[in-house]
Amino acid sequence: MADIIIKNVYVLTMDSYELTQGVVVIENGTITEVAESTEQDADQIIDAKGSVVMPGFVNTHTHAAMTLFRGYADDIPLDEWLKNYIWPAEEHLTDEDAYIGTKLACLEMIKSGTTSFADMYIHMNDVAQAVKDSGMRAALSYGLIDLGENRSADVELSKGKQFVLDWKGEAEGRIITMYGPHAPYTCSEGFLSKVKKEANHDRVGIHIHVLETESELNQMKQQYGMCSINLLDRLGFLGPDVLAAHCVWLSDDDIEILRGRGVHVSHNPVSNMKLASGVAPVPRMLDRGVNVSLGTDGCASNNNNLDMFEEMKTAALLHKVESLDPTVLPARQVLEMATTSGARALGIKSGVLREGYNADVIIVDMNKPHLTPVYDIHSHLVYSASGSDVSTTIVDGRILMQDYEVVCMDEQDVLDRARTAASGLVERAKF
Ligand SMILES: CSC[C@H]1O[C@@H](n2cnc3c(O)ncnc32)[C@H](O)[C@@H]1O
Ligand SMILES: [Zn+2]
pLDDT (tens digit per residue) in 127-173: 999 999 999 999 999 999 999 776 789 999 999 999 999 999 999 99
**Reported ipTM:** 0.99
Greater confidence, 261 or 152?
A: 261
Q: How far is the CA of 121 from the centre of ligand 1 (A)?
A: 8
Nearest protein CA to atom 19 of ligand 1, as residue: 121
Residue 173 Cα distances to 84, 139, 159, 344, angstroms: 38, 11, 21, 17
State in Å: Cα 128 to ligand 1 middle. 18
3-state SS assignment for residue 27: strand
Q: Average per-residue pLDDT in the chain?
A: 97
What is residue 150's predicted lDDT score, i.e. its pLDDT?
A: 67
Query: Which one-letter DSSP state was computed for residue 358?
Result: B
Ligand in nearest proximity to the CA of 270: 1
What is the spatial distance between Cα 304 and Cα 383, in angstroms, rounded to a whole number? 19
84: DSSP letter = I
Query: What pLDDT sits at residue 431?
Result: 81
Q: Which residues line ligand 1 (CB under 6 A)?
A: 63, 78, 82, 86-87, 90, 120-122, 143, 145, 182, 209, 212, 271, 297-298, 301
245 HSE (CA, 13 A, CB side): 28
Q: Which residues are annotated as a binding site for Zn(2+)?
A: 61, 63, 209, 297
The C-alpha atoms of residue 84 and residue 6 are separated, in whole angstroms, by: 49
Residue 271 Cα: closest atom of ligand 1: 12
Domain spanning 2-55+352-405: which CATH class is it, in words?
mainly beta
* Percentages (nearest 5) of helix, strand, coil residues in the chain: 45, 25, 35
Nearest-CA residue for ligand 1 atom 20 is 87
| CATH top class, domain 57-346 | alpha beta
pTM of the model: 0.98
Task: Tell me 368's DSSP state.
Answer: S
Helix residue spans in 176-307 (DSSP H): 189-202, 214-224, 228-234, 252-261, 269-274, 282-288
The DSSP letter of residue 36 is S
Q: Which ligand is nearest to the CA of 117?
A: 2
Expressed in angstroms and rounded, the spacing between residue 68 Cα and the centre of ligand 2 is: 15
- Give the whole-number percent of the chain exceeding pLDDT 70: 100
Give CATH 2.30.40.10 domain extents, the chain.
Answer: 2-55+352-405
Residues of the chain within CATH 3.20.20.140 domain(s) are 57-346
Residue partners of 63: CB distance under 8 A and separation at least 6: 119, 120, 121, 143, 297, 298
Q: What is the mean pLDDT of residues 41-64?
A: 98
